[in-house]
Amino acid sequence: ELKDIENENVQEIDAHMKDSNISEWVGFIKGPSGTPYEDGHFILDITIPNDYPYNPPKIKFNTKIWHPNISSQTGAICLDVLKNEWSPALTIRTALLSIQALLSDPQPDDPQDAEVAKMYKENYSLFLKTASVWTKTFATGPKLEPREVIVMRNSKTEDAILSAHFLIKKITEMGFTEDQAK
């Protein structure tokens, strides 16, 4: 499977083993064009269970993302092919492509993150703006190859950005403008 992904050389998705560990992989998904995730480079943690391919891989977003089917806190993904619809005929590549398709077609009636789903349903324009801001804040940066993006990730920097984002959010919830909060 790993060789198939490498041989495909598709710029939208990629995956490789983490530290030469066959059960721990790192995945990469490029945000689909025409969505608030466009130009985003999303990193995912992939854990391959011992009974794979009979059971699905455990996949979660490492990059913060604002999406009704993905936890904004933990990166957990609500997607049927990663749970009860998994088949041994599916692969890591098809799982990543399914996740990328989910970015294009959110399912707010089957949410992983209720707060995001509520915003999606009740204030779609605010959802789009928030998702776009999160993409720009957490998923963009220098234009690098997927493997370079994965290697260069700095969790301390990402945590600092995340802390600043939530602090700004809390201040704006108190009635201040975003510019005042910054």
Which residues are known catalytic residues?
Answer: 78
Distance CA(119)–CA(124), nearest Å, equals 6
Identity of the residue numbered 173 = E
Distance CA(103)–CA(99), nearest Å, equals 7
Q: Yes or no: say if 56 and 86 are a contact pair by the CB < 8 Å rule.
A: yes
Residue 24 DSSP symbol: E
Two tokens, residue 72: 């904004």
**Three-class DSSP category at 55:** coil
**How many CB atoms within 10 Å of residue 109?**
9
Rounded to the nearest 5 degrees, what angle is found at the Cα of 55, between the Cα atoms of 73 and 47?
45
Q: Measured between alpha carbons, how far is residue 48 from residues 18, 19, 82 in Å?
A: 11, 14, 12
